[in-house]
Amino acid sequence: MILQWSDWLALAGIFILGAMSPGPSLAVIIKHSLYGGRTQGMIAALSHGLGIGLYAALSMLGIASIMVAAPWLITLLQLAGAGFLLYLAFMSLRSALGKSSASLPVEQTSSHHALAWREGFLIAFLNPKVPLFFVALFSQFLSPEQSPLTKVLVAGMAMGIDTVWYLLVAFILSNPQSRHFFMKMRQGVDLIFGLLLVFVASRLLF
């Protein structure tokens, strides 16, 4: 089966909608962009795209299908994902209950960049919905006889669209005006962010 232009456009549209859908991934990129600045936000965006691309590649290789067929693997991923979300929620709620500051943070260090990379990647990799999404989607568009080049291009499209979207989010929100505005409400933003992550984690667990 050869993918037609209509198939490529459909895949691109689905990837765009998937990337733009609000959720914990968007919250993480927003947090790093507002509090850490443009570089930190873009690092989180790049690592998130890598996590998405990795699952797309695993789906092409059939490994994600094995995960979906083994309920205990998905359960393990759900537990790990929920645990990570609760950790992020705890950090945000602790910040919300701390001292408020309307000033921009000091220049970010390599440790902050490493944190952004880790959180961006893990928020994608520990999301059990991602492998389920790719397995369901690719089963409709791709066959085992598909050429390796086509599979690489589709996986690359998924990673590229996700990365570009979150890079755009990071670029827009990391401008000084946006950062100053949100820093004035940092405690409230942290509180909302933390409660949102607790809610999402509870949805994974129950």
CA distance 159 to 11: 12
pLDDT < 70 stretches in the chain = 1, 63-65, 67-68, 99-109
Given a contact cutoff of 8 angstroms between Cβ atoms, the answer to whether 48 and 124 are in contact is yes
CB distance 169 to 44 below 8 Å: no
pLDDT in the model for residue 117: 96
CA 198, CA 192: separation in Å to the nearest integer? Answer: 10
* pLDDT for the residue 99: 59
Q: Say if CB 83 and CB 197 are below 8 A apart.
A: no
Q: Is the dihedral of CA 37, 43, 47, 48 positive or negative?
A: positive
| Assessment of whether the complete model's pTM goes beyond 0.75 | yes
Taking a C-beta distance cutoff of 8 angstroms, is the pair 74, 133 a contact?
A: no
CA distance 70 to 78: 13
In this predicted structure, what is the pLDDT of residue 28? 93
Amino acid 12: pLDDT? 93
Q: How far is residue 118 from each of residues 108, 122, 193, measured CA to CA in Å? A: 15, 6, 18
Q: Amino acid identity, residue 131?
A: P
Exposed e or buried b for every residue in 78-87, given b needs 16+ CB within 10 A?
bebbbebbbe
| Residue 62, pLDDT score | 77
CA pair distance 109, 192, nearest whole angstrom: 26
Residue 181: what residue type? F
